[in-house]
Amino acid sequence: MKQPAQNLEDITMPVHKAASILESGGLVAFPTETVYGLGADATNPAAVARIFEAKGRPLFNPLISHVASINAALELGQFNEAALKLAHAFWPGPMTLVVPFKFNARVCDLARAGLNTIAVRVPAHPLAHQLLAAFGRPVVAPSANRSGHVSPTTAAHVCEDLGQVVDLILDGGPTVFGLESSIFACLDNEVILLRPGSITRQMAEKALGHSIDDLASPNDAKPIAPGQLASHYAPRAQMRLDVHAPNAGEAFLAFGPQNAPQALALENLSPDGNLSEAAANLYAMLRRLDASGAAVIAVAPIPSIGLGEAIRDRLNRAAAPR
Ligand code: TXA
Ligand code: MG
């Protein structure tokens, strides 16, 4: 695989090519600091429809609009005081805000699944930033995987899942955070954590100066984040969580100083028990353990503090009945 570009000249060409593909209604996969996204022009309904088709994504599940700057984000939605605080504290970065949509903005209905709210993100990854700045309009980008499958953290993962349908993949090497962005909804004077991620609940509470409401239950009849279906982010194998020692023949995803000679395949999220390292490794390791052919992937207990909340959220979804 290609290494991350070392200097601007290496990547300027592909970025301009990528922008012109977006311009003509095509699909470009690009790295963000969380996971790789599958991008299309958010103002072009035909291009946005190609994303739903390529991913096999249900049309009721809205997409995140990505822009190059906070100012560009402010043009798309109505930011209340809390939303502004979070935006200034964590953008550019691994956070998405759901705010009321400004109906004069040009993001198409399909991108928002017809909702009167919009999910907006200003990513920090230099390649993502350059692409968005060069294109100049909002870019919708779900994770660049087939719907329900594990999110891609390398260009090779994108190629495995969507190589046939994407017009160009910008390769920025492995992503740094490895989990999808945290999503906070800032509506009606309350802040709700819709999807835990690298901007943790505790970090957001500190920036806001007050506590935030609990995650809407994935089993709610009407979850506020339509994409937060209980079963998601799933490998092929069955998952067994909070396992101290795997059974013989199971694949084992360890965390901390652990060994499991009886396991069919073994990966360690972080031998030192570091949660950031674990988040960055999670999806690539799940893919490798899945490829071992084991019927079951057993996973070591992950503490639920800080970033552990996001890792446990993804593991619970991967383990949900499907
Ligand atoms: O890290 C990320 O967020 C990556 C990178 C590429 O930016 N993108 C990503 O997109 O994870 P996706 O489509 O896989 O997840 C977007 C989530 C879905 O759960 C969707 O339901 C929710 O955001 N969402 C989008 N618009 C929303 C809205 N208006 N209200 C509530 N939830 C929304
Ligand atoms: Mg996704």
Q: What is the pLDDT of residues 178-237, one digit of tens each?
A: 999 999 999 988 899 999 999 999 999 999 999 997 765 555 544 466 666 566 678 899
Q: What's the pTM?
A: 0.90
Quick count: other Cβ atoms within 10 Å of Cβ 46?
11
Tens-place pLDDT, residues 90-124: 999 999 999 999 999 999 999 999 999 999 999 99
**Would the CB of 118 count as within 6 Å of ligand 1?**
yes
**Would the CB of 95 count as within 6 Å of ligand 1?**
no
Best residue among 63, 102, 151, 177 to mutate for probing ligand 1's pocket (most ligand atoms within 8 Å of CB) is: 63
DSSP label at 17? H
Query: What percent of the chain clears pLDDT 70, i.e. is strictly above it?
Result: 91
Strand 265-268 vs strand 238-240: parallel, antiparallel, or unpaired? unpaired
Could you tell me if 125 and 133 are in contact, meaning their C-beta atoms sit under 8 angstroms apart? no
| Distance (Å) of CA 220 to CA 40, 122, 216 | 30, 29, 7
**Would the CB of 182 count as within 6 Å of ligand 1?**
no
Instruction: Count CA atoms closer than 13 A to 80's CA, side-chain side.
Output: 13
* Nearest alpha-carbon partner for 239 in 303, 317, 164: 317
Best residue among 101, 180, 220, 228 to mutate for probing ligand 1's pocket (most ligand atoms within 8 Å of CB) is: 180
